[in-house]
Amino acid sequence: MKLRVNGKEHEVAAPADMPLLWVLRDLLGLTGTKYGCGVGQCGACLVHVDGKPRRSCMTDVAAVAGKSVTTIEGLSADASHPVQRAWAELDVVQCGYCQSGQIMSAAALIAEKPQPSDADIDATLGRQICRCGTYQRVRAAVHRAAELNQEQKK
Amino acid sequence: MSILADPTRREFLKTAALSAAGLVIAFYVPPGRRFAQAAETTAPAAPPLPPANAFLRIGSDDTVTVVLAHSEMGQGIWTSLPMLIAEELDADWSTVRVEHAPAAPVYAHTAFGAQLTGGSTTTWSEFDRYRQVGATARLLLVQAAAQRLGVSPDACRTEQGAVIAGDKRLRFGELADDAAKLPMPATVALKDPADWRVIGRPTRRLDTPEKIDGRAVFGLDVRFDGLLTAVVARSPVFGGKVKSFDDSATKAVPGVRKVVQVPTGVAVVADHFWAAQQGREALKVDWDLGVGATLDSAAILADLRRLAGTDGKLAASAGDAPGTLAKSKQLVTAEYAVPYLAHAPMEPLNCTVRIGPDSCEIWTGTQAQTFEQMTAAAITGLKPEQVQIHTTFLGGGFGRRAVPSSDWVNEAVHVAKAAAAPVKTVWTREDDVRGGYYRPAFLHRVRVALGDDGLPAAWDHAMVGQSIMTGTPFEGSFAKTGVDPSSVEGVADSPYLKAIANHRVQLHDYRAPVPVLWWRSVGHSHTAFVMESMIDELARASGVDPVAYRRRLLADQPRHLGVLNLAAEKAGWGSPLPAGRARGVAVHESFGSYVAQVAEVSLANGRIRVHRVVCAIDCGIAVNPATIEAQMESGIAFGLGAALESAITFADGRVQQSNFDDYRVLRLPAMPQVEVHIVPSRERPGGVGEPGTPPIAPAVANAVAALTGQRLRELPLRPGA
């Protein structure tokens, strides 16, 4: 089947029910998207499908055929997305393993709500797990990313 | 540089030959010097510096590559160790690159003698070695510049990656080749701390760029042509063995290549993870379960209680605790219990192995390269130096990736050997949660006699739990007493007990077929909860403010008092709070650092909400204050998750949890506002990766007691239960 990932067309030979996560990682070599739980609990595998957040571990690859998938590798060409800039500015990462999912979740949030409240952040980023406990900085960085996003638009 | 013919050096040179041309600095600090004075200005009389190790390369393109003898798992040493070198080298920070060292004796921990990252030891154990590497490189670069310019070395100074003499400026990259040819100095002088410009300056992480765009390579991300992926069907109870298996349905799954039996179970080897997992679901295994099949949490708790009432092994004793207790007019007694806990790092365990005729290559995120090397050598019949360990980034460690049995690496080597192919063995989250190596459950019984002054006149303490050291190579270290120091740390050496004339601590080593292991902060993860809760109980029983009570008992402990007073002040201890909120305090030393925390809590619908945590830390010299702040936030989040949510339980031998839906950990909405205050200090560095964890559970429990009057003595904390 044909997949469009980060603006590039791929032809993949995969069973229809193979999770998008493993197609991305094991067939396309896009390892920035992480496996953390496999059951939609931790959000490490979060990608965008047609701009909307999707947990790729729970998404059959057949369900995204013909749609546009964006992974952490395609969020920006040079880590210039406001969320990535905010993450660097606030030194958010620790072990880093969950951060692709955190960043993709945050990017989807500010795309939908340019000025997210703390409650909005709780409702969305609250579905991501980080065992290093970077949560305080994640929250601050989402707010900062929203600011950078507004500045960029001006 | 001289080349000597011992195997260590040959191994090192082989490694160096693979590296870019340039300066290689060798250095060695004997283990006995682990606590060398941090602030001294010159190197002490050390043995001659043998040209044996590779911690630093300077390329002709000016890049300064720091080789880390320790593993980066989030704790920030990817930045703080290079800072030590950059300080002495006067490097241009923008040219600093970092990589993990291969496994080799030269990278052995300066105190442990094996390559190991754990016990919050990296900063203090490398504080001299990495600074001296930087100073040695600087000395050689200056000598090379002086020779080239025909001036005295004294006429040269260094700044921002260059040697400067008069109006001449030579970049390190221009000097590296010449410097590498100079003889190694016998000693080097280190900077006066007053001249430090890098140490003590909050510095952003060097690994951020690759961790925000998906480039960072963790063990699970290792890929090369021909690499297969395996998942292993393991016994549903600890210690079970395969009787027989039927793989006919497994082999029909597209992508499955092989099914092989290994000591831990049956491995399904496939083209990719999904096929392997599908294949495992189709596999039928008949198990011989063994004694593990009766494991049951209620029975374990009953066992712990029974043992607590018997005589244990003496871990600490002074005066006559039982006699004083028998005569006491005011007794306070309490029983505390904590559960088994999984580490659950975000990256599930995995290990890639490629075995050749005379080599074995391993890619994994490990805290313990030497263990893995020895394990792989034993299984393959190779020599340890024929086993290469490629340390990737670790997607969290918390102790789970430093296992004396090398459980996951051992299994992966067996899988690759049996499959006769390069294989990445991957654990699912369920495998990880159910796979053992937990923080052991512990039960504490404490009896205290209060004197007329309200202070403890006698303290009798019994602890029961599994030893994490028994059955490991570390067992011999406490063979004489039978008391595993990692079980009793934080109690047997408590500063409170030092202030109590009559005290006794007994340990009962509980045996159970549950694999147990150090879990971030080890024994302190339960002992701080018990000691700091109990002290709070005594303060309340005596009608004394909990901070004031601690001050009285800790009068001779200036560093405990320093953080206690700082946290209390910054938290506004004693000032009014909104209705429905209360504060709790805890102070605890672990891994050479002193931490006090004040937690502000409320209750809503029977659930504890922690709003704010004020944290004061005295970790001696603060190498990177930014790292320390992050590690306090991290340690608090890790400990708070355990305090509020996490427990591993057993029924019919099975672990009852399986994934993050039932093994609950802290999530963002429950994260309090954490404020970190660092005590300025010139004491030698302590650890920061773990000391933030122990105080949070008691600080929260103490706040709940202040709020409701209910004393919660079990973790996770269940108010109203």
Residue pLDDT, tens place only, B557-598 = 999 999 999 999 999 999 999 999 999 999 999 999 999 999
**Which residues 289-348 of B have a C-beta within 8 angstroms of A?**
344-348
Residue B98: its H or E element: strand B96-100
Helix (H, G, I), strand (E, B) or coil at B71: coil
Q: State the Cα–Cα distance between residues B145 and B137, nearest whole angstrom.
A: 12
Closest Cα in chain B, distance from residue A154 (Å): 25
Q: Let me know: does B551 contact B580? Beta carbons within 8 Å.
A: no
Q: Which of B455, B444, B656, B421 is nearest to B548 (CA)?
A: B455
**Which residues in B lie closer than 8 A to residue A25 (C-beta atoms)?**
221, 273
Percent of chain B topping pLDDT 70:
93
Residue B279: its H or E element: helix B273-281
What is the pLDDT averaged over residues B113-139?
94
Closest Cα in chain A, distance from residue B217 (Å): 8
Whether A41 and B661 lie within 8 Å, measured CB to CB: yes
Q: Which of B367, B402, B274, B346 is nearest to B70 (CA)?
A: B367
- Give the A:B interface size as CB pairs under 8 Å: 180
B151 Cβ contact partners less than 8 Å away, ≥ 6 residues apart: B165, B166
Per-residue confidence at B19, pLDDT binned at 50, 70, 90? very low
A44: nearest CB among B346, B397, B671 = B346
- How confident is the prediction for chain A on average, in pLDDT? 97
Domains by residue range for chain A, with CATH: 2-74 (3.10.20.30), 82-153 (1.10.150.120)
| Predicted confidence (pLDDT) at residue B48 exceeds the cutoff of 70 | no
| Predicted confidence (pLDDT) at residue B40 exceeds the cutoff of 70 | no
The per-residue pLDDT for B428 is 98
Q: State the Cα–Cα distance between residues B464 and B511, nearest whole angstrom.
A: 10
| Predicted confidence (pLDDT) at residue B6 exceeds the cutoff of 50 | no
| Predicted confidence (pLDDT) at residue B39 exceeds the cutoff of 60 | no
What is the pLDDT averaged over residues B483-504?
97
Residue of A nearest to B76 (CA): A94
Kindly state whether B638 is in contact with chain A, defined as any CB-CB distance less than 8 angstroms. yes
Whether A79 and B205 lie within 8 Å, measured CB to CB: no
Q: Which of B672, B626, B664, B707 is nearest to B79 (CA)?
A: B626
pLDDT in tens, B353-372: 999 999 999 999 999 999 99
What is the pLDDT averaged over residues B32-53?
37
The per-residue pLDDT for B111 is 87
Residue B673: its H or E element: strand B673-678
**Which residues in B lie closer than 8 A to residue A138 (C-beta atoms)?**
668
Instruction: Respond yes or no on whether the N-terminal peptide bond of residue B422 is cis (omega within 30° of 0).
Output: no
- The CATH architecture that domain B7-211 belongs to is 2-Layer Sandwich (3.30)
More confident residue, A78 or B39: A78
B13 Cβ contact partners less than 8 Å away, ≥ 6 residues apart: B3
**Which residues 359-418 of B have a C-beta within 8 angstroms of A?**
393-398
Whether B347 and A97 lie within 8 Å, measured CB to CB: yes
DSSP string, B686-709: ---SSTTSTTHHHHHHHHHHHHHS
Query: Could you tell me where the DSSP H helices lie in A18-113?
Result: 20-22, 82-89, 99-112
Number of helices followed by number of strands (H, E) in chain B: 19, 27
**Which residues in B lie closer than 8 A to residue A30 (C-beta atoms)?**
214
Residue of B nearest to A95 (CA): B74
What is the pLDDT averaged over residues B442-465?
98
The per-residue pLDDT for A154 is 78
Residue B274: its H or E element: helix B273-281
Maximum separation of any 2 CA atoms in chain B, in Å: 84
Give the best residue of B100, B346, B640 to mutate against chain A (max A CB count within 10 A): B346
Give the best residue of A18, A20, A24, A37 to mutate against chain B (max B CB count within 10 A): A37
DSSP B668: G
Q: State the Cα–Cα distance between residues B207 and B151, nearest whole angstrom.
A: 39
Strands of B283-430, DSSP E? 284-288, 313-318, 330-338, 350-356, 359-364, 387-391, 423-426
What is the pLDDT averaged over residues B35-64?
58
Closest Cα in chain A, distance from residue B626 (Å): 9
| Predicted confidence (pLDDT) at residue B41 exceeds the cutoff of 90 | no
Whether B396 and A132 lie within 8 Å, measured CB to CB: yes
Domain ranges of chain B: 7-211, 219-288+349-426, 297-340+438-708
Would the CATH topology of B7-211 be identical to that of B297-340+438-708? Answer: yes
DSSP string, B477-538: GGTTT---HHHHTTTTT-HHHHT-SEEEEEEEE---S--B---TTTTHHHHHHHHHHHHHHH
Whether complex ipTM tops 0.90: yes
Whether A34 and B223 lie within 8 Å, measured CB to CB: no
Helix, strand, coil content of chain A in percent (nearest 5) = 45, 15, 45
How many CB atoms within 10 Å of residue B664?
A: 16
Kindly state whether B637 is in contact with chain A, defined as any CB-CB distance less than 8 angstroms. yes
B668: nearest CB among A76, A92, A138 = A138
What is the pLDDT averaged over residues B699-706?
98
Kindly state whether B633 is in contact with chain A, defined as any CB-CB distance less than 8 angstroms. yes
Per-residue confidence at B22, pLDDT binned at 50, 70, 90? very low
A131: nearest CB among B229, B346, B626 = B346
Amino acid identity at B250: T
In words, the CATH class of domain B219-288+349-426 is alpha beta
Distances in whole angstroms, Cα of residue B313 to Cα of each of B302, B441, B483: 20, 18, 7
Angle (CA) B207-B213-B217 rounded to 5° is 60
B212: nearest CB among A15, A84, A139 = A84
HSE value, Cβ hemisphere, 13 Å, CA-based, for B561: 10
- How confident is the prediction for chain B on average, in pLDDT? 92
DSSP B57: E
Whether A25 and B273 lie within 8 Å, measured CB to CB: yes
What is the pLDDT averaged over residues B365-385?
97
More confident residue, B16 or B132: B132
B660: nearest CB among A37, A76, A91 = A37
Q: State the Cα–Cα distance between residues A87 and A108, nearest whole angstrom.
A: 15
The per-residue pLDDT for B186 is 86
| Predicted confidence (pLDDT) at residue B25 exceeds the cutoff of 50 | no
Closest Cα in chain A, distance from residue B213 (Å): 6
Using CB atoms within 10 A of its CB, is residue B144 exposed (0-12), middle (13-18) or buried (19+)?
A: buried
DSSP B582: E
Amino acid identity at B394: L
The per-residue pLDDT for B474 is 84
The per-residue pLDDT for B54 is 75
More confident residue, A97 or B38: A97
Closest Cα in chain B, distance from residue A100 (Å): 6
What token pair was written down for B420? Answer: 């006769």
In words, the CATH class of domain B297-340+438-708 is alpha beta
Closest Cα in chain A, distance from residue B351 (Å): 15
pTM: 0.94
The per-residue pLDDT for B50 is 27
**Which residues in B lie closer than 8 A to residue A134 (C-beta atoms)?**
630, 633-634
What is the pLDDT averaged over residues B87-114?
94
Give the best residue of A26, A70, A87, A124 to mutate against chain B (max B CB count within 10 A): A26
| Predicted confidence (pLDDT) at residue B261 exceeds the cutoff of 60 | yes
**Which residues in A lie closer than 8 A to residue B673 (C-beta atoms)?**
136
**Which residues in A lie closer than 8 A to residue B634 (C-beta atoms)?**
94, 132-134
Per-residue confidence at B23, pLDDT binned at 50, 70, 90? very low
Q: Which of B345, B342, B381 is nearest to B360 (CA)?
A: B381
The per-residue pLDDT for B477 is 86
What token pair was written down for B583? Answer: 């504060």
Maximum separation of any 2 CA atoms in chain A, in Å: 45
Whether B626 and A31 lie within 8 Å, measured CB to CB: no
**Which residues in A lie closer than 8 A to residue B217 (C-beta atoms)?**
31
